[in-house]
């Protein structure tokens, strides 16, 4: 009869050296790193804060800013993209500061533009609805005058009638 402990010792695997255990993990890490590097090279990263600047410009546009007012902000955003591309190619620190400043400027200008545009849109709406009311009043008065003139004309024509014997 054999002891269970002894049997287990027989089946035990030969000890594997520690560096060999780590090898597959290192290979996997290298593959993952390589894939990430290729991906980042191929697909340019946006500068931090670009998304917020874009949202701010969209906000100004939605508030009623005209295309002519939005155009300079869009131009600044495209300039920031260009600088970001150059920063990724080289001269990183200086260009990144420029991009950051430009995006901050876009956000600030877009905020101001949104305020102005929303106020203008509100006033335009108020004026339009007021004009509707005033227009309805003027049209009613005009109709009343026309009706009055038409009645007077009918009365005048009635009194101008002459009776002829046939």
Partner 1 sequence: MATPRKRVWVMVFIVLFIVFETVAYVSTTPRPTEQFFQLYVLGANRLAADYYPNDDPNIGVGDAVPWYLGVSNFMGSVQLVALRVKLGNQTIQPPNDQNATSSQAPVVMELQRVLQDNETWEFPFVWRILNATSAGGVTRILGLMVNNQTYPLVGVEARDGYDFRFIIELWTWSVDSNAFQFGWYAGPEQRVAWLQVWFNATAVP
Residues that bind partner 1 (CB under 8 A): 38, 42-44, 46, 50-51, 54-55, 57-58, 61-62, 67, 70-71, 74, 77-78, 81, 124-125, 128-129, 131-133, 135-137, 139-140, 143-144
CB nearer to partner 1: pick between 28 and 62 = 62
Residue 162 and residue 44: Cα distance in Å, rounded? 95
Contact at 8 Å (CB) between 123 and 63? no
User: Of 81, 82, 79, 74, which Cα lies nearest the Cα of 54?
Assistant: 74
Q: Please report where in the chains the tokens 């902000």 appear, as a residue.
A: 73
Using the minimum distance from each CB to partner 1, give the nearer residue, 97 or 138.
Answer: 138
Query: How many CA atoms are closer than 13 Å to the CA of 75, on its beta-carbon side?
Result: 6
Task: State which residue, 22 or 44, has the beta carbon closest to partner 1.
Answer: 44
State the nearest-atom distance from the C-beta of 86 to partner 1, in Å: 13
- Report, in Å, the least distance between residue 78 CB and partner 1: 5
- 133-151 as b/e: b if 16+ CB within 10 A: eeeeeeeeeeeeeeeeeee
Nearer to partner 1, 32 or 131 (CB): 131
Question: From the CB of 6, what's the least distance to partner 1, in Å?
Answer: 54
- Looking at the Cβ atoms of 26 and 137, the one nearer to partner 1 is 137
**In the complex, minimum distance from the CB of residue 88 to partner 1, in angstroms, rounded to a whole number:** 11
CB of 94 to partner 1, least distance (A): 21
Give 120: exposed, middle or buried? Use CB within 10 Å, 0-12, 13-18, 19+.
Answer: middle
């Amino acid at each position: 009869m054999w002891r269970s402990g002894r049997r287990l010792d027989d089946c035990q695997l030969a000890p594997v050296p520690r560096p060999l255990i780590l090898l597959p993990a290192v290979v996997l890490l290298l593959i993952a790193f390589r894939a990430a590097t290729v991906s980042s090279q191929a697909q340019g990263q946006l500068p931090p804060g670009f998304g917020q600047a874009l949202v701010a410009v969209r906000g100004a546009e939605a508030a009623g800013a005209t295309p002519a007012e939005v155009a300079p902000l869009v131009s600044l955003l495209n300039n920031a993209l260009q600088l970001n591309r150059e920063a990724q190619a080289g001269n990183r620190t200086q260009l990144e500061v420029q991009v950051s400043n430009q995006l901050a400027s876009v956000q600030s200008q877009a905020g101001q533009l949104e305020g102005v545009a929303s106020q203008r849109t509100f006033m335009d709406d108020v004026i339009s609805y007021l004009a509707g009311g005033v227009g309805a009043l003027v049209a009613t008065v005009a109709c009343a005058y026309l009706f009055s003139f038409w009645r007077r004309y009918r009365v005048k024509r009635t009194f101008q009638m002459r009776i002829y014997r046939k």
